[in-house]
Structure 1
Amino acid sequence: MRITRYAATLGALGLVLAGCSSEAGQQAEEATENAPEVAQDVEFPAGSTMAELAEAGTITVGTKFDQPGFGLANPQGVPEGFDVEVAKIIAGELGIAPEEIEWKETVSANRESFIQNGDVDVVVATYTINDARKQLIDFAGPYYVAGQDIMVATGNPLAIEGPDDLAGKRVCSVEGSTPAQNIRDNYPEAQLTLFDVYSKCADALRNGQVDAVTTDNVILTGLVQGGQGAFELVGNPFTEEPYGIGLAKGDDEFRGFINDTLEQAYEDGSWAAAWDRTAGAITGTEAPEPPAVDRY
């Protein structure tokens, strides 16, 4: 039976941080074997973004390159993870094969500008939907709901159990992220340090430059897995972060197409299969009940 509450998945992430490295190492092989189906003889309304992409035979996707389970570059420089597989599902419905996707490394601070400037067609990059961002771009989805959590050094020497314990502590997050803004707005006594990517936060925690790292629990889980025993997850998520697919403002037709594609993936099992062979393999959790898309 699949887990039917987001909270079940959020809580479980803190309990399964050992023994999954061999499964994570199989992601590339499994992703190839389970590549999403590519639609044939697709037809779309003339002049639509879907028609233009299908005719071009390629799509440019912005995603993270440093987040195990969601978007992590392999030795060949190609990203792998749940976000990547979701993007492949969308591309497949456009008739675009995975090898024809152009992947563009995207960090939290440049996601909106990449979309606005036309550097990418979509962003699938642990991208929390919020009202401020919706003033600049549009979102399809959500396709997953995470929760902000905290990563500390193994043994939790400062006994950090939640955000209220961050007062006076050196806390790392990344520029342009929802978790960083949450700390600024609601926990101003924390001493916030910002980098461009979370891997630098992990290095700072390892070197004793900061006391904690905060972002979404699924991102932190990947960092714990790659930390060789140096880190642990507090495991007490204190927000809900709905992940959406970013696209150009006002392209309602394309947004509707992506939402339709997500709902189809929920129904036919391809979304759950993508989770199971990527983020699920690292966290040891089953795919949760998929969230309802927001057709605003």
Structure 2
Amino acid sequence: MKKLIAASVAVLMTVTACGSGAYDATVIPPKPQPKAAAAPVAPAPCGDTKNPLRSYAPENVSLSSPTLKKIIERKRLIAGVSADSLNLGSRNPISGEIEGFDIDMVKAVAKAIFGTDVGHLELRVISSPQRIPVLQNNEVDIVARNMTINCVRWQQIAFSAEYYHSGQKTLVPRDSTAKSTTDPELDGQTICAPAGSTSLDNLQKVNPRVKTITADTDTGCLVLFQSGKAYGISGDDTVLAGDAAQDPYAKVLKEKAFSAEPYGLGINKDNTDFVQFVNQVLANIKANGEWAASYKKWLEPALGKATAPAPVYGR
């Protein structure tokens, strides 16, 4: 009965978060490969030899640059975000406001442009697979949705400097005896990972013996887990911490993260002037304590202490 109540709560959160609601199972069977020890999955090397973490240095930053002028004339910054990733970007059931660590990042950008984010920040709820298309189509100015920086994505969009360093783990039922994502207990089990994410690719590389199932949103995976359609969920430790907080019958495996997930704010690849501006904003909030305050509020209770990653420039 408690399990059904938990599932109902997750479904309610999804509806109030204006999510896509697309939770139909897309199951990918396990690959017939021999067992192998897990190894950290690192971002693929860039074909142009550039470090994928390299972004554009905040030089000659100006509110009169082409992209900033358009945003100012529109009188609002449009950001693509999640509304169902607890502590990153989720809708507060009391106030109805979308809040979290990722949301604080775009609020800082809006404040830097307009002096305040109030009345000047439009949040558009998007799914994981929508993150890149909405930037390419100029439907949003920026995406803050726990998006990993990598070389493949750099071919499609541009990224800010890294603003948080996450890693992938797996969530399972509380009574599971599995110790890691490669544990034999998980062989043949159905594990959910968001569609259009690095989490899905990483999971299939680290344990090709599991069946994978996808959903467009984080809550989509949680609903599949709670309804028994998925045995577990694999994803960023930030996301899984939020999932576990919503379900007392779930736990995150106490394993070392098996991937590197450097988060960047996504921006249209043609708007390098805006990337430079955003990088200046990130540098400012890391220096003045705003980044630390946001992390302490949203992520430190579940993930422990952390420091802001140093920016890498040179693109």
Deviation for aligned residue 1:231: 0.4
Q: TM-score, normalised by structure 2?
A: 0.75
Q: Do structure 1's residue 194 and structure 2's residue 194 form an aligned pair? A: no
Tell me the amino acid that sits aligned with residue 71 of structure 1: G
For 2:272, the equivalent position in structure 1 comes to 252
1:58, 1:102 within 8 Å by CA — same for their partners in 2?
yes
- Equivalent pairs counted in the alignment come to 250
For 1:161, the equivalent position in structure 2 comes to 180
1:290 counterpart (292, 308, 312): 308
Question: Which secondary structure state, in structure 2, belongs to the residue aligned with residue 192 of structure 1?
Answer: strand
In structure 2, the CA distance between the partners of 1:185 and 1:67, relative to structure 1 (3 Å rule), is: same
For 2:133, the equivalent position in structure 1 comes to 113
For 1:83, the equivalent position in structure 2 comes to 102
2:202, 2:259 within 8 Å by CA — same for their partners in 1?
no
Could you give the per-residue CA deviations for residues 85-109 of structure 1, whole angstroms, max 9, x where no partner exists? 0111111111152222100001110
In structure 2, the CA distance between the partners of 1:106 and 1:148, relative to structure 1 (3 Å rule), is: same
Q: Do structure 1's residue 176 and structure 2's residue 196 form an aligned pair? A: yes
Q: Percent identity?
A: 27
Deviation for aligned residue 1:284: 6.2
Q: Do structure 1's residue 142 and structure 2's residue 162 form an aligned pair? A: yes
Q: TM-score, normalised by structure 1?
A: 0.79
CA distance in 2, matches of 1:284, 1:291: 15
**Cα RMSD after superposing both structures:** 1.8
For 1:66, the equivalent position in structure 2 comes to 84
Give structure 1 stretches of 5+ with no counterpart.
Answer: 1-42
1:146, 1:240 within 8 Å by CA — same for their partners in 2?
yes
Q: Do structure 1's residue 44 and structure 2's residue 87 form an aligned pair? A: no
Give structure 2 stretches of 5+ with no counterpart.
Answer: 1-60
1:58, 1:96 within 8 Å by CA — same for their partners in 2?
no
Could you give the per-residue CA deviations for residues 212-259 of structure 1, whole angstroms, max 9, x where no partner exists? 1100011000110011x1100103111110000000013221111111
In structure 2, the CA distance between the partners of 1:58 and 1:171, relative to structure 1 (3 Å rule), is: same
2:241, 2:303 within 8 Å by CA — same for their partners in 1?
no
In structure 2, the CA distance between the partners of 1:253 and 1:47, relative to structure 1 (3 Å rule), is: closer
CA distance in 2, matches of 1:161, 1:185: 14
Deviation for aligned residue 1:45: 5.3
For 1:29, the equivalent position in structure 2 comes to none
Tell me the amino acid that sits aligned with residue 59 of structure 1: L
For 1:212, the equivalent position in structure 2 comes to 232
